[in-house]
Structures are given as C-alpha cells and as structure tokens.
Structure 1
Amino acid sequence: MTGQQHDDRRKNAGVLKVQPYLADYEATRKTFSWDQARRGLSGLPGGRGLNIAYEAADRHAIGSQGRKEALRFIRADGSTYSLTYSELAFQSSRFASVLRGLGVQAGARVFTLLTRCPGLYIAMLGTFKNAGVVCPLFSAFGPDPIRQRLQLGTGQVLVTTKALYRKKVAPVRADLPDLRYILLTDADGAPEPGTLDLEALMASAAPAAGIAPTQPEDVALLHFTSGTTGTPKGAIHVHEAVVAHYATGRFVLDLHPDDVYWCTADPGWVTGTSYGVIAPLVHGVTVLVDEEEMDVDRWYRILADQKVTIWYTAPTALRMLMKAGAERAAGYGFPALRLIASVGEPLNPEAIVWAQKVLGLPVHDNWWQTETGGIMIANYPSMPIRPGSMGRPMPGIEAALVARDSEGKPVIEEGEVKLITESDTMGELALRPGWPSMFRGYLNDEERYRRCFAGGWYLTGDLAKRDKDGYFWFVGRGDDLIKSSGHLIGPFEVESCLLEHPAVAEAGVIGIPDPVAGEVVKAFIELKAGNQPSDDLRLEIIGFARKRLGAAVAPRLLDFTTGLPRTRSGKILRRLLKARELGLPEGDLSTLEQGSRRP
C-alpha cells in the first residue's frame, strides 16, 4: 500500500494530510546529493562551522517558532509538561556555561546516566555547545557496565541523579580516576559527597555566550555497542552526522513541521539519540517523551490522547502489543497517526499485517547500525511495502552484496571485493563509504575499524538478499547463519514462520552441531498466554514449520522458554542462546535485558 493510498483511505479520519517529501524515489536518487542535504541546515552563524545543538534547538528559538513545544514529557499519571524550543536553547546554553565554568575543555567526554527527563536533553545539547563529546548510558545499566564504559571513554563528567549515583556509580567511583565531576540533576541543595548540585550551578550560570565553534569532522558522539567479546566497542561520530539525521528524518520518517512525533527508544541507545533527539528536533517538530516504561494500555492511550502522527518503535514492542491481543486496542482511536516505522531488528511480516488490522496502518521497516549512525535502507511512505523486506537504499547511499567464501570472508579479486549482481542471491550487505553519519572509528581500536572495510566498501556483517526490484531482504548476522546438510539457513526466516503459529509469541533460532548434517536448526519458543508447553504442542509447531519451510529448513529441535535473552533495546541475542546451549563463553553481557539474566 502506498503513502498516497493511506492518505486516500484516511482523509476523512482527521489524519494530518501531507504530501510525502520523497514522492518519487527514482527521481530523488538521481538528483540527490549530500551537499543538497546540507543546504537544509543553517550552520553556525558567521560561518563558524556546524554544530548539532544549533541545528536542533537554537535556530528554531528565533521568532515565533521559539514558543513551539520542542519536548512534551508524559508523567506516570498521564499529565504532561513541556519545553519550548526557546527554553531548550536557553537551558542548554546554561549547561554549556556550567561546563565552561568548571574548566571542562572542548573534546571532553560527558557521560549521561539519566532516565528520560529534561536534564538528559539539556545536557546532551549543552555538551555539543561546549564542543564536548556526548556519551549516553542506559539508566538500567548496572555498576560494572557503567564503570567499564567510563573507563574506556575516559569520561571527565557524568550527569546523573542522586538515586542512580548511590546505587550504580558510588560503588565503582574509586575505579574512575579520570572522572572529575559528577553533576546531580536532583540534588535539591544537598549533593552527595564528591558530587555537585547541577540545578544550583545552572541557576548561577549565565547562558553561554554563543556556541563554541565546531567543524563538521569534530567528534560529537561516542556510542558503545556490544560485541561478542567482553569489551564494548566505542563507535565515534562527528557533528557532520546531523546532515544524515536531517535527510533521513525528511525522507524516511517524513517529518513535517506540524507533526507530533514519538520515538520509543531510550536515548541511552543510538536510535534514541539519533531519532529520539537529533533528527526530530532538527526538523522542528514536537517530540513526545514518555517518562515511564512500556505498558500496553499506556502506549495505546499515548498514541490516541497525544494525537501522535509519526511513531517510530521496535519489532519487540510491536510483538508485545500483538501478544496482548487486538482487543486491548479496541477502545482507542488513532485518527492522527499517519506513519509507523520500526527499527532495531528485522520486522516479521505478520507484525506488518497485524498493524494494518489493529492500528489502521502498516509498519515501515528500516535498517541501519550503530556504526552507520543513521538509516541506510528503508520502506518509504510513498512506496509499496514488501512485508519482510528492509526496503531500498536511502538517496545518497550505495548498497551492494559482497560474495563470501566458505569461511565467511569477503571474496577479493585483484584488490576488489566480488559483488553479487544476481537477484535473490545471498551475500554480505556492504555500503560505499562517504555518508555523513558514518562512524569515524572505534575508540582506541584502529585495527578493528580497518577490518570493517575491504575493496572500497564498508562491510556490515549482515547477510541479505536483493530482489529484482532493488528491495533488500535481511537473512541474518553472518555469525548467526546456520549451515545444515549443504543448506544455508537464515534464522530470521525460520523465526518469522514460527511466529505465524497461533500459540507462539516469540521465537529464537540457532544452529546446533550435528555429526551428519553439520548443524541442525533448534528453536526456542515463548508461548502466548493460555498455552502450556507439551510434547504434543512441540510436535505441532515443528510440523507447522515443516509444511511451510520444508524439512531441510524447519527446526528439528524445539524447547519452550519463558524468556529469550534480549538486549535492553529488544534484540534477541542468538549468540547468547547458542553459548548457553553449548556451554560456550557468553561474551559481553552489559546490554542484556535484566529479565534475561540467569539467576
């Protein structure tokens, strides 16, 4: 269904009627350039460079636009309070002044350990204004991952709350000699020993006189992403990334000035920073921020009562809504909603069909990574959705598939990687470097960064196929691929099939060593409410998958579980499923969802 068809079907429902910015995909790809996208931004006054905070707040704070809601916070009781663009610009300038008053220099890494509260957004933008580096931490991290990231990033400043400090920072403070200042957002005049009262500092600080000059290649963000080893990787991003945030916000999320936008990702993760903070603020829209955790009825109520027009969420969240049953949405209406997008892991086709039935719109999947910094491949509002597909590359992005050898390494011939030109043939997804939000390195690990590139391409580590019309289809991470009796099996395909069974709520699939087949497929299943594990149900689900996938691809083994291991951003950790099944080292667990931990 195209974006125009959505608009035609819903024109009498009160939905905001707009023409998608990307109305003609092919024509836009031919004429687009990143220089063109840069012209949509302002740049620092006087030609002093490019700064994310200026594009996100200060340029909107001038004139009547300054009175517009920038951030609308939703409290636990459902009441709201807001920061206008003028207030956001003013408060973030005060924070920059606090940093300067403490002697925090340009390039210093400022870590945030906060819930979704005003102080988080003010600290982020204020750090950009001081030419510092924002390093967001997820507030649910425990002391060890917090210590590890602060050590790896040599953090000089940490912004947090009294409760989070006591519980998670104080126990490891002695291990952080580089940490000069801990700023508490809620000290209420009585900061903890060795910390500072940020509110008092803000009250006494004059707004910073202008924004420190920053150039496009100056470092702005440091995002830690989990790896299979015990050490998180620190992906480095620069102020130039805001160009990609602007372009993707325009073409993929279709952000228009009157939109009410809700990204459910926490700013402690790259999605919550790029598309919960930067991209929507750059476009001057009103950004919803829910201060509470996910609750099915609460989310439906927010979508309805706050008249959300653009909703960016994750497949895990959508499956949780599906698991609760369509009847939970029956009492709510969503007439303002005109676009639903999803990211974080592959979106199963059944979630798209469910959303169309229950919410009145399908879900537009897109693909990117922490390393890419922004959306690279997407299903666009003006184009037909192909359920299960990642979509087509962004204007300005050249994507290809690279052939791999039997050991999973890229095939290189005469110094060039071998590209797959045939449709529906699996290869490693690769991107031609040069887009603005591409990471500029891994912190203190140049060798690991170099290994990400070959023959003039960035190798993503993800396996995919491309159909004859140029749509890409996710197969799996390279190290998730299952090799069974000569077949290469992508776990996502099997999981999507299992989710079609009426008793299955979630599924995770891995390969188990087998002396004859090499590997056999094993599935781990979470059941929907009202279903109980049994041998009969196990055989029923396996038989269901065999009818649809064939015996070579369907699971041979199946276990029931009450909780698949996930990251806190919702991704199922197949590598951890496999490690636990085979008794292998579990690697980095710092991003593991609390409920997924072993007792």
Structure 2
Amino acid sequence: MRPAIIRKPAEQSVTPNWDDSAAARAAFSWQAQAGELCGLPGGGLNLAYEAVDRHAQGRRRQHVALRLLDRNGGRCDISYARLSSLSNRFANVLKGLGVQPGERLFVLCGRGLELYLGVLGGLKLGCVVCPLFSAFGPEPIETRLRIGEGSVLLTSEALYRRKVAGIRERLPQLRQVLLYEDNGGAVDTPPGTLSLAQLLAEASDDFAITPTTADTPALLHFTSGTTGTPKGALHVHGAALTHLVTGKYALDLHPDDIYWCSADPGWVTGTSYGILAPLLLGVTSVVDSGEFDAERWYSILETQGVSVWYTAPTAIRMLMKAGAELARRHRFPRLRFIASVGEPLNPEAVWWGQDVLGLPIHDNWWQTETGGIMLANTLAMPIKPGSMGKPLPGVEAAIVSRDEQGGLILLGDETVGELALKQPWPALFRGYLGQEERYRRCFVGDWYLSGDLARRDADGYYWFVGRSDDVIKSAGHLIGPFEVESALLEHPAVAEAAVIGLPDALLGETVKAFVSLKSGIEPSAALHDELLGHGRKRLGAAVAPKALAFLPDLPRTRSGKLMRRLLKARELGLPEGDTSTLENPR
C-alpha cells in the first residue's frame, strides 16, 4: 500500500484557495461567503445573473467565458458580454412565445452554444431548466419529459427527428419545440416546431431578468443508476452559493484558469461544474463537442492550456487502458490540478495520475441530491488514495446508524455506517417530483441520509464502502465492493472490476468478481486462477472473491457509475429494472 501523496508548496503554481486549517474551518460561514454574490439589482437572486451578467457588466466583460471546440478542430471563443446578450435573446424568445416563469424547459442538446443559451436564458426567465443527455433514446426522454411536465423543449433538428418526433403525440403538455441545425445552417422545421435561429435573430439583446429568490426552483436533475422510475430532484437559485464556494475550495479555480469539465451537462456534474461553477467564478471553460478519444483529450489538455481538469473515473480508466506512452507524447505545462467524481476513484488511478501525468487525481464525493461537492481531497491537503477526502467548509458530515426507534446514532472512527450530512446548505435539493414520501425518508431530524456506506479514519478522511444495497454480507462480514475492486485493479492485467454478492446457503452471500482486461491481454484459465489468488493475498480468504468471470466491458450508466445491481440481476435471472441510462446495454 503506497503512502499518502503530499503536494509540496514548490510544486503548486498558485496559492490554494483553501488552507484546510482548523482556524479556517472555524471561521467559515455561508453567510459571509454570500457576500461574493451580487444579487439582482432590484433584490433577489438568480443563477444566470450571478454566472454571466454580473461579469458582463464589470471588468471581465471581454474575458472568454466559453471556448467552444467543434469535432473538426475549429474553435470559437464567447466572451461574458456576448454570452449575456445571447442568453438575453433566448430569454426574450421564450417570453415572446408566452412561456411563463416556473414552466419546465427541457434542453436536449449536444455540447455547444445552444445548450448554454438554453440553460442560462431559461434561468433568466425563471423557468425550471432540465438538461437532458443527448445520447438518451426516445424512451428515457419521454419518461423525463412526462415526469417533469416539460412544456418547452430545445433540441437540434437531428435529435428531434431521431428521438422526439415519434413520441411527440404522447406528450400533450409539450407545447413548444425549438430547433437548431448542428452545423449552424438553416433548419427544416417539421410541423409543430420553430426555428431557434430565426427567433434569436428577431429577439432583443436586452432582457429584464424575472425576479427570483434563493428559494425559487431553478433546476431539475434526474438521478440515474437505480431501479424503477427515475427520480427528479428539484434545486433552487440559492444553489449558486454552493457552486461558487466548492468551485473555489474543491476545484481551486482562480480567475485566470482555463478549466475543462468533461462531464456532459445532461448529468448534474456537467451542469453544476461544467456550466455554473466556472461561470460564477469568471473563468474560461473549454467545451468539447466531440466524444471520448484518448488522443483528442490529451491534445485538448495540451493545445488549450487547460490548468484545471474535472473528469470521471471511467474516463481516467479509459486513458489508463490506452497506455502511458500515448500520454507521454504530450506536454501539459499549465495543468496544475485534476479532480474526479462520479464514483469512488480507485487508488491505482490516483497513482497513475501522479506517475504518468505528473499530478495526482483528487477524488471528491457528492450526489445529485446534494447539488454540489460535499467531501473532497483538496489541493492544500495530503491525498489518501482511495479516500473521498474530508468535508468541505460549511459541510458537517457523520457516520451514523439507526436505533430501534428510527433515530440516529453517531458512530466513531473506523466504524462502517451510513454517510450523513447535517442540513442545511444552499444546494440541498428541495424535493423529488411527485414523490414526497420518498423525499421525507431521506431525512432524520437535521440529517440528510445519503444511502452510501462509509467509514471515517482517525485523520478525518472518509472512505467509501458501497451503496447500502451493494454491500455484501458474508459469514458475518460486511464487504464493501469498492475495497475488493480496488485490490483487483492493482493487478497489471485488470482494466476494470466490479463485484457482487451471490446467495449462499452457508455463508449468506459469497463474492463474485467481474473483470475487464487491459488491451492486448486475453482471458485464460491461468489468469483466472492468478486473479483469485491475488485477491486472497491482498484481502484474505474471508473477503476475497470466490468466483470470477471475464467481460469485455462492464455495465455503466452514461455518467460513469458501475451498475452492480444489473450484473446481479443478470447473474440471478432477475428483472433488470430501469436501464435507460446505460452506456452499453448488453
């Protein structure tokens, strides 16, 4: 086991925004941080105003807000002033169509300018905006539009024809559909649709933002990777404060950074930290319209001078699979900070970043429901590879269990329990659409219960054990999948691993592992036995997998989460449940 990684001051090109001292934590208050937000001129708070207009009206008006990269190598820079006027136009388009504040605007777009105009213009009008992942098929799009009661949809002509036209008649509440052409050309508008380009050309650059407050609904995010119907989590304009603070302290964003969040805004990470947090802090965001390609990604980091990069464990493992030699053909002199989220980051990936990219990868933890990063390995603290880090300032975390009356017991260090957060904080979600009872079950007294099992060590670092329904109970042991998967990933042949518990008459459950191998390595009986032996050596016989199978790819959601419950359903012949968010259905 390698030691913690300590970043020495000489290795840091800028002074970290957060010093992680006891005094700094004690001095922090959300109220004091709120002073960094301007508020609407007439009173109130609006996410889009804080993210764009306050910069457009000040010294950073000509600073680049978005650096748009197309799939063919083209680049277009959009200043804060230009982004303000264009999002004003989109807000005027909506208003001219009779769209009212509070209506649900769904944005089904690729990673391009229209996506940003939809989100920001919708927020300016006071709509509840829901970005959708453009790779969704018709069924998950229909489900979300129906649950969310979407009345307006912004999408491209191609996406509309492929994914929406066939379900339109089943969505009577969808009144307006705005279409654009991906290549910027004239759009052919099918019946019941309107041309975005034409409406924008006719709209004014001036718009009086609808009065909203910190408690006004702003964003709707659907959870992924669960059984049953997706849950729509509702967030408010006050979340701006969490995005701003966590962008500073967890991602260490500074005004002159070139920042790249590779998450699609169809997921909460891509909205909170791909759109809002960098704009709130006035930095330049790289927006790549292309799909994952290791060579392309390394080229973006190099040619665009990216200084802060926020990505996902799945992408990191895909880069690892592509090999260190490819990475070493490139130079990243400006890159100073890499962070990851989506699921726990295995220790080997943290060390790969240090060894290959010259920087460790800083894992952090949060959920759709929390709205923003809650725990993180920040720049100013030693990284314990495999740890989620410590609670950020303003966040109080605990490991808890329930007593017989349903109350909570606070557990001590090195004890596995449920990760809980003390409310409130500005980005905490305000409800699940149409599921009030399910929402209430998330809380006991002042505590939000995450559903994740974890432990805290003596230094205050938190360690992910597993989702409560993923933890394996074998012969009296509670076995966290993440620990077993991390041990398997230490083997040089393994690219990805997932483990599940299978029923056993004697032990209750036994551990079975599913492994995807690195490029060029073929499955064999000898490798099968070698991996089982490696697991026993690293974990002990009680915890190590008893069975192992090779798979070319592991099932994941498009946001990067391992679908262990799907592996278990397939192994036991059970219903697979909601698979609308799967990246690779079979």
Query: TM-score, normalized by length of structure 1?
Result: 0.95
Aligned to 1:272: 270
Shifted more, 360-369 versus 525-534: the winner is: 525-534
Moved over 4 A (4+): 1-4
Aligned to 1:197: 195
Distance 1:531 1:227 in 2: 29
Distance 1:578 1:25 in 2: 44
Corresponding residue to 1:21 among 11, 17, 21:
17
Aligned to 2:10: 8
Give CA deviations for 1:479-536 in whole Å, capped at 9, x if unaligned.
0000111111000000000001111110010001111111100000101112111111
Distance 1:527 1:419 in 2: 41
Aligned to 2:311: 313
Corresponding residue to 2:403 among 396, 406, 411:
411
The 3-state SS of whatever aligns with 2:469 is: helix
Corresponding residue to 2:464 among 446, 461, 474:
474
The 3-state SS of whatever aligns with 1:525 is: strand
Answer whether contact 1:412 1:455 (CA < 8 A) is retained.
no
Corresponding residue to 1:449 among 426, 439, 454:
439
Aligned to 1:581: 571
Corresponding residue to 1:43 among 25, 39, 51:
39
Alignment RMSD (CA, Å)? 1.4
Q: CA deviation at 1:9?
A: 3.3
Aligned to 1:88: 83
The 3-state SS of whatever aligns with 1:519 is: strand
- Is 1:181 the counterpart of 2:171? The answer is no
What letter corresponds to residue 202 of structure 2 in structure 1? S
Distance 1:352 1:529 in 2: 20
Distance 2:188 2:226 in 1: 42
Aligned to 1:337: 335
The 3-state SS of whatever aligns with 2:36 is: coil
Q: Which consecutive residues of structure 2, in runs of 5 or more, have no partner in the other structure?
A: none
Corresponding residue to 2:284 among 278, 283, 286:
286
Answer whether contact 1:2 1:383 (CA < 8 A) is retained.
no
Aligned residues: 581
What letter corresponds to residue 533 of structure 1 in structure 2? P
Answer whether contact 1:491 1:509 (CA < 8 A) is retained.
yes
- Is 1:369 the counterpart of 2:367? The answer is yes
Give CA deviations for 1:13-41 in whole Å, capped at 9, x if unaligned.
xxxx3211102432221011111121111
Q: CA deviation at 1:69?
A: 0.6
Answer whether contact 1:367 1:377 (CA < 8 A) is retained.
yes
Aligned to 1:557: 547
Distance 1:290 1:512 in 2: 41
Distance 2:4 2:579 in 1: 41
- Is 1:30 the counterpart of 2:26? The answer is yes
Answer whether contact 1:143 1:172 (CA < 8 A) is retained.
yes
The 3-state SS of whatever aligns with 1:462 is: strand
Give CA deviations for 1:331-367 in whole Å, capped at 9, x if unaligned.
1111101100000000000111110011111011100
Aligned to 1:60: 55
- Is 1:393 the counterpart of 2:384? The answer is no
Answer whether contact 1:50 1:216 (CA < 8 A) is retained.
yes
- Is 1:107 the counterpart of 2:95? The answer is no
Shifted more, 28-37 versus 503-512: the winner is: 28-37
Q: CA deviation at 1:455?
A: 3.2
Q: CA deviation at 1:189?
A: 4.9
What letter corresponds to residue 566 of structure 1 in structure 2? R
What letter corresponds to residue 42 of structure 1 in structure 2? C
Q: Which consecutive residues of structure 1, in runs of 5 or more, have no partner in the other structure?
A: 11-16, 404-409
Answer whether contact 1:508 1:525 (CA < 8 A) is retained.
yes
What letter corresponds to residue 597 of structure 1 in structure 2? P
The 3-state SS of whatever aligns with 2:32 is: helix
- Is 1:522 the counterpart of 2:512? The answer is yes
The 3-state SS of whatever aligns with 1:539 is: helix
Query: Identity over aligned residues, as a percent?
Result: 61
Aligned to 1:117: 112
Q: CA deviation at 1:6?
A: 4.7
Distance 1:334 1:442 in 2: 42
Distance 1:272 1:132 in 2: 19
Q: CA deviation at 1:63?
A: 4.0
Distance 2:320 2:9 in 1: 25
Answer whether contact 1:341 1:365 (CA < 8 A) is retained.
yes
Aligned to 2:140: 145
The 3-state SS of whatever aligns with 1:311 is: strand
Shifted more, 276-285 versus 185-194: the winner is: 185-194
What letter corresponds to residue 419 of structure 1 in structure 2? L
Distance 1:3 1:484 in 2: 33
Distance 1:361 1:412 in 2: 47
Distance 2:527 2:408 in 1: 46
What letter corresponds to residue 192 of structure 1 in structure 2? P
Aligned residue runs from structure 1 range 206-225, under 5 A: 206-225=204-223
Q: 1:493 to 1:3 in 2, by over 3 A?
A: closer
- Is 1:154 the counterpart of 2:154? The answer is no
Give CA deviations for 1:97-156 in whole Å, capped at 9, x if unaligned.
001100000000000110001000011000000000111100000001101110111101
Q: CA deviation at 1:227?
A: 5.5
Q: 1:558 to 1:189 in 2, by over 3 A?
A: closer
Q: CA deviation at 1:74?
A: 1.1
Distance 1:320 1:364 in 2: 17
Answer whether contact 2:52 2:279 (CA < 8 A) is retained.
yes
Answer whether contact 1:3 1:382 (CA < 8 A) is retained.
no
Q: CA deviation at 1:278?
A: 0.2
The 3-state SS of whatever aligns with 1:262 is: strand
The 3-state SS of whatever aligns with 1:57 is: helix
The 3-state SS of whatever aligns with 1:66 is: coil
Corresponding residue to 1:542 among 529, 532, 547:
532
Distance 1:517 1:542 in 2: 18
- Is 1:167 the counterpart of 2:157? The answer is no
Give CA deviations for 1:40-94 in whole Å, capped at 9, x if unaligned.
11111132x0000001100011244111110001122223111110010000000
Shifted more, 1-10 versus 520-529: the winner is: 1-10
- Is 1:513 the counterpart of 2:509? The answer is no
What letter corresponds to residue 397 of structure 2 in structure 1? A
Distance 2:197 2:211 in 1: 26
Corresponding residue to 1:295 among 293, 305, 313:
293
Q: 1:68 to 1:4 in 2, by over 3 A?
A: farther
Q: CA deviation at 1:249?
A: 0.5
Answer whether contact 1:253 1:341 (CA < 8 A) is retained.
yes
The 3-state SS of whatever aligns with 1:223 is: strand
Aligned to 1:406: none
Answer whether contact 1:402 1:411 (CA < 8 A) is retained.
no
